[in-house]
């Protein structure tokens, strides 16, 4: 391994030196270090790390000269942070690439990230906060034979931690911008796209038939007319059973998904209506493996991504195996001087999203069972998640700016977290957030956040026989409140104190304060941040992809830099 890394480094350095000799090239890069100490805290269930300190760090170096770019990423997990997959272990250069383009053809060798359409059939990406990096390793070609026509094709294997999954992906994508192709300057613009991807994995099941080549295709259409924007995509995946020996678990059904959205916007007003449905669309880089590291497609989330702690306490995880959802968003900004707008105008955002299961679950097909859910069913289906929220953003005067949110969320904790119905039940949370920042003097800003979450149990599980209220097997977390004070002396310093208090926990021993202190310093391209605090065990999501975060207690250090 070490020999491999040294060889790669030497080869890369040599090539960079050769290219850099005539001094026309440019180096860019960035560095990120995350270190955290882990002390035991029995009350919150935090475990001490044997290593005391865990660390993730990354260094990206890119070199560009004309139409040639090369680069690498050195990654170090010594050992990986507790909320990371422990398979990330050790040091290495798992990402290195070289790209050049000539006469409209771009060639990439090595690692690359790629997404076809909105990702329904294929998405290779990096999301450090989730511990996801399924970069491809192989070759990619992009070519534009005509104005408005974009083709790309690739072949490669998908990264999993420090190695690559078994599956080999072959993909192709074409996109046509109709207006550009025919050079017509109309008010209505149309972009058509289509993609296909196929995964090869050797067959290794003596009992059941397994497809070695699993294909998926998708078509998309984007029409833009003034302030109106329509985007629709449909995807289909052929049978892709897991490699099992139990007949009842073998599923030969094909998968499909669609997503549709209409956006209308004009000055001071915008509406978005979205709908999506997925059925049996989990596509993995290795049919034998489970876990986020092996996901090779992405179903865009259909709920608003919240940044405030209590609004994000119970986030929605997208169910690629089967869900139907709708979302509506209305944005408006009232005029300055109007009754609602006041002196500076007021921004409103009303958002509603609702996601439920498919009728009878996702498609299923084997020698004994055949089930295809009806296309659209809402009433009577199991509710996974619902969120209705109103956000009001207002500048009150030159010194004070405020943001208020009121929300009601329904969270099917049992389903979304994989518990047995009746362990935790379905929660309904009403959340209020007030976020006010006050500019004390030039460069000095004080920001205060106050949040409260009132939780109720929606369904009656009293017949379930659990020992907690309403027949639950596990104690409810109940109500939360949260306060935050942040003092910023721009451009260099900031200090934050935050307390999350679980005042309503049914288990009185767990009615705890989770206090966090953070201080940071920015100078030029460098940023330093230290912190100390306790984190609650929970689910953390980005774009509907979620990970479990264990409770922790300790100090943290973050250093980032770029050049």
Partner 1 sequence: MRKYITLLSIILIVSSCDVEEGPFINDYDSYVNPEKKVLIEDFTGHLCPNCPDAARELDAIHDIYGDQVIGMALHVTKSFARPYLASQAPAFQYDFRTTWGDYWDAFYGISDAGLPRGMINRIGYQDESHKLGKDEWATTVANELKKEIDFKIEISSDETSISITSEVQNNINADYNLVVCLTESNIINWQKDGGNNIEDYEHNHVLRTVLIDQELSNSTNYVAGQEIQKTINYDLAALEQFNIDYSANIAELGNGNAGGWNASNMSVVAYIYNTNTKEIVQVQDAYLNN
Residues that bind partner 1 (CB under 8 A): 105, 143, 145, 151, 153, 170-172, 196, 198, 200, 206-215, 238-239, 241, 245-248, 250, 252, 365-367, 419-422, 463, 465
DSSP 207: S
Least distance CB 369 / partner 1 (angstroms): 10
- Here the tokens at position 548 are 């479990």
Q: What is the DSSP string of 529-553?
A: EEEEEEE--EEEEETTEEEEE--EE
- CB nearer partner 1, residue 417 or residue 499: 417
- Here the tokens at position 121 are 């059939």
- CB nearer partner 1, residue 303 or residue 457: 457
Chain CA centroid to CA 483, Å:
26
Least distance CB 156 / partner 1 (angstroms): 13
- CB nearer partner 1, residue 329 or residue 382: 382
Least distance CB 113 / partner 1 (angstroms): 20
d(CA 317, CA 119): 16
Cβ count within 10 A of residue 71: 21
Pairing of strands 526-535, 552-562: antiparallel
d(CA 100, CA 80): 34
- CB nearer partner 1, residue 67 or residue 492: 67
| 190 burial type by CB count under 10 A (0-12 exposed, 13-18 middle, 19+ buried) | middle
- CB nearer partner 1, residue 150 or residue 308: 150
With contact defined as beta carbons under 8 Å apart, do 490 and 521 qualify?
no
Least distance CB 100 / partner 1 (angstroms): 15
Least distance CB 209 / partner 1 (angstroms): 5
Positive or negative torsion for Cα 295, 299, 305, 310: negative
- CB nearer partner 1, residue 239 or residue 403: 239
- CB nearer partner 1, residue 341 or residue 421: 421
Instruction: For residue 350, give the nearest of 314, 386, 383, 387 by alpha carbon.
Output: 387
Least distance CB 146 / partner 1 (angstroms): 11
With contact defined as beta carbons under 8 Å apart, do 27 and 12 qualify?
no
Least distance CB 465 / partner 1 (angstroms): 6
DSSP 294: G
């Amino acid at each position: 391994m070490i020999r491999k890394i040294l060889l790669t480094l030497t080869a890369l350095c040599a090539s960079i030196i050769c290219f850099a000799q005539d001094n026309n090239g440019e180096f860019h890069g960035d560095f990120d270090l995350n270190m955290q100490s882990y002390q035991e805290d029995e009350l919150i269930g935090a475990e001490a790390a044997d290593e005391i300190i865990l660390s993730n760090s990354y260094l990206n170096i890119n070199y560009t000269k004309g139409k040639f770019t090369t680069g690498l990423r050195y990654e170090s997990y010594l050992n990986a942070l507790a909320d990371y997959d422990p398979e990330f272990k050790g040091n290495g250069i798992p990402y290195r690439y070289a790209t050049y383009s000539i006469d409209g053809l771009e060639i990439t060798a090595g690692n690359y990230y790629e997404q076809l359409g909105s990702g329904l059939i294929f998405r290779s990406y990096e999301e450090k906060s989730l511990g996801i990096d399924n970069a491809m390793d192989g070759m990619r070609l992009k070519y534009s034979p005509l104005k408005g026509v974009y083709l790309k094709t690739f072949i490669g294997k998908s990264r999993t931690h420090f190695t690559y999954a078994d599956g080999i992906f072959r993909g192709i994508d074409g996109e046509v911008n109709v207006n550009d192709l025919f050079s017509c300057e109309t008010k209505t613009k149309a972009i058509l796209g289509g993609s296909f991807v196929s995964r090869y994995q050797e067959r290794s099941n003596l009992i059941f038939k397994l497809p070695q080549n699993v294909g998926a295709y998708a078509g998309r259409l984007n029409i833009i007319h003034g302030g109106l924007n329509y985007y629709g995509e449909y995807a289909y995946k052929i049978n892709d059973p897991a490699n099992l020996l139990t007949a009842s678990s073998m599923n030969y059904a094909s998968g499909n998904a669609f997503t549709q959205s209409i956006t209308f916007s004009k000055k001071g007003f915008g509406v978005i209506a979205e709908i999506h449905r997925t059925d049996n669309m989990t596509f993995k880089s290795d049919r034998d493996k489970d876990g986020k590291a092996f996901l090779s497609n992405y179903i865009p989330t259909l709920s608003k991504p919240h940044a405030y702690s209590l609004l994000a306490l119970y986030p929605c995880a997208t169910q690629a195996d089967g869900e139907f959802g709708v979302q509506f968003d209305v944005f408006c900004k009232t005029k300055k001087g109007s009754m609602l707008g006041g002196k500076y105008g007021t921004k409103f955002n009303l958002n509603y999203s609702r996601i439920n299961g498919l009728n009878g679950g996702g498609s299923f097909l084997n020698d004994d069972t055949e089930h295809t859910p009806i296309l659209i069913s809402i009433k009577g289906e199991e509710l996974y998640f619902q969120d209705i929220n109103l956000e009001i953003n207002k500048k009150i005067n030159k010194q004070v700016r405020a943001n208020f949110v009121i929300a009601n969320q329904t969270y099917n904790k049992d389903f979304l977290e994989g518990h047995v119905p009746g362990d935790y039940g379905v929660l309904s949370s009403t959340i209020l957030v007030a976020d006010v920042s006050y500019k004390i003097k030039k460069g000095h800003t004080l920001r205060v956040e106050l949040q409260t979450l009132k939780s109720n149990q929606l369904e009656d599980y009293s017949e379930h026989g659990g020992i907690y209220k309403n027949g639950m097997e596990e104690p409810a977390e109940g109500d939360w409140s949260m306060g935050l004070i942040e003092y910023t002396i721009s451009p260099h310093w900031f200090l934050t104190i935050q307390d999350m208090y679980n005042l309503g926990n049914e288990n009185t021993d767990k009615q705890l304060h989770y206090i966090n202190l953070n201080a940071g310093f920015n100078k030029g391209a460098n940023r330093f941040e230290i912190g100390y605090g306790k984190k609650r065990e929970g689910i953390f999501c980005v774009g509907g992809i979620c990970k479990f975060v264990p409770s922790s207690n300790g100090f943290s250090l973050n250093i980032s830099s770029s050049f």
